């Protein structure tokens, strides 16, 4: 594969939000070995600049102002296409669209209407994030547009019947809309055969700035009084357990690093936080809020999904280098993946992820950035 020259690999330039000019720009990010071109879209709107590539629908960078108005990239990612392609199976999934099924399915197996389907095992002994070639590895078709004057980018991908073992031809879309202070992702999917679907975005954040160190001093609040405990392979046990009295209680603002090494069995299993929280309430509501004390940046996440996976970057091991040339080590970024629960098809007490012909899968997640 080839790169697209210095424009594709350069780190974002330092700017202030007052210098941003709303609009959408397109440039060639690189080509795959079969010659397929991968494009990058830079979407700008008043105080946010986002770069999205058509490979995996990946959010490469997110630039937002700090408390002094200085722009900085707060998303982890790679500078060139080669790293995104090479780090698969499973990779860090930096910024990628995840499907058909976000998170884990036990032993890669589920049953629909008496038929058992086998998925690839890529997180032994389970299937993770859609399998060995999930939606994060696909080149999506991009259509720039606008929504009430805000720039947007619609990405489309059709997953054929039996791809990665999943039944049905599934047509999925993810539309990124950049407003004054937010990134909204609207997901849609339809199928011609009963199937399961659970889509999300796997962006990693560091509100102090990409490559600046750990996120352990970030202060997290989750609108969730329960979570789904996991076994040693990170598959839910089926319990819906209270967070009260555990280090998984983020109902009040708490630094991420305060209890991450306290020896609790769940944190031992995940090498830190890598769990699904059951978001209180229903409809589009606030699921999480994260603040960073030095920059003053604040991220608020809203979603209509029943769950949110908080992952504290436990498997970053120093072997990856990001857009700014910095080494990524354990805890250098966090992910908040809005979702249905892991392994839902194998737990009758979890919200259903079944999609049937004639139905439309619809879900929305909003990332809102501010500074204080």
Active-site positions? 202, 337
> Partners of 254 in the beta sheet?
220
Residues 327, 320: Cα–Cα separation, whole Å? 6
Greatest distance between any 2 Cα atoms in the chain: 59
Q: How many C-beta atoms lie closer than 10 Å to residue 142's C-beta?
A: 19
Residues 156, 52: Cα–Cα separation, whole Å? 14
Residues 331, 221: Cα–Cα separation, whole Å? 17
The pair of structure tokens assigned to 285 is 């509501």
Nearest to residue 158, comparing CAs of 142, 144, 169?
Answer: 169
Beta strands 254-255 and 219-222 are: antiparallel
In 203-306, which residue ranges form alpha helices assigned H by DSSP? Answer: 265-270
Check residue 305 and report its DSSP letter: S
Nearest to residue 178, comparing CAs of 43, 339, 86?
Answer: 43
Torsion of CA 134, 102, 323, 151, to 10 degrees: 100
CA angle 343, 347, 349 (to 5 degrees): 130
Q: Which residue has the tokens 């090479």?
A: 86
Cβ–Cβ under 8 Å, residues 199 and 314: no
């Amino acid at each position: 594969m080839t790169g697209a020259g210095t424009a594709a690999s350069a780190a974002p330039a330092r700017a202030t939000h007052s210098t941003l000019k709303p609009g959408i720009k397109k440039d060639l990010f690189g080509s795959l070995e079969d010659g397929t071109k991968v494009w990058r879209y830079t979407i700008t709107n008043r105080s946010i600049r986002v770069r999205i590539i058509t490979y995996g629908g990946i959010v490469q960078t997110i630039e937002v102002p700090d408390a002094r108005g200085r722009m900085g990239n707060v998303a982890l990612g790679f500078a060139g296409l080669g790293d995104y392609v090479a780090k698969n199976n499973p990779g860090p999934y930096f910024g990628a669209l995840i499907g058909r099924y976000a998170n884990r399915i036990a032993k890669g197996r589920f049953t629909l209407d008496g038929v058992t389907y086998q998925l690839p095992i890529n997180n032994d002994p389970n299937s993770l994030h859609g399998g060995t070639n999930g939606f994060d590895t696909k080149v999506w078709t991009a259509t720039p547009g606008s929504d009430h004057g805000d720039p947007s980018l619609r990405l489309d991908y059709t997953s054929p019947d039996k791809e990665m073992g999943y039944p049905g031809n599934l047509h999925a879309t993810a539309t990124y809309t950049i407003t004054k202070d937010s990134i909204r992702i609207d997901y849609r999917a339809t199928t011609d055969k009963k199937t399961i679907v659970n889509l999300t975005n796997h962006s990693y954040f560091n509100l102090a700035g990409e490559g600046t160190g750990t996120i352990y001093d970030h202060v997290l609040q989750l609108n969730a009084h329960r979570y789904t405990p996991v076994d040693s392979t990170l598959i839910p046990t089926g319990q819906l357990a209270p967070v009260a009295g555990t280090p998984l209680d983020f109902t009040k603002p708490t630094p991420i690093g305060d209890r991450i090494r306290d020896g609790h069995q769940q944190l031992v299993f995940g090498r830190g936080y890598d769990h699904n929280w059951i978001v209180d309430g229903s409809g589009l509501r606030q699921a999480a809020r994260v603040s960073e004390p030095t920059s003053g940046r604040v991220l608020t996440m809203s979603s209509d999904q029943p769950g949110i996976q908080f992952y504290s970057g436990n498997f970053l091991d120093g072997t990856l280098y990001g857009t700014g040339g910095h080494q990524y080590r354990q805890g250098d970024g966090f992910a908040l993946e809005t979702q249905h629960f892991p392994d839902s098809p194998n737990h009758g007490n979890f919200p259903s992820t079944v999609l049937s012909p004639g139905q439309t899968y619809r879900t929305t997640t909003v990332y809102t950035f501010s500074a204080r």
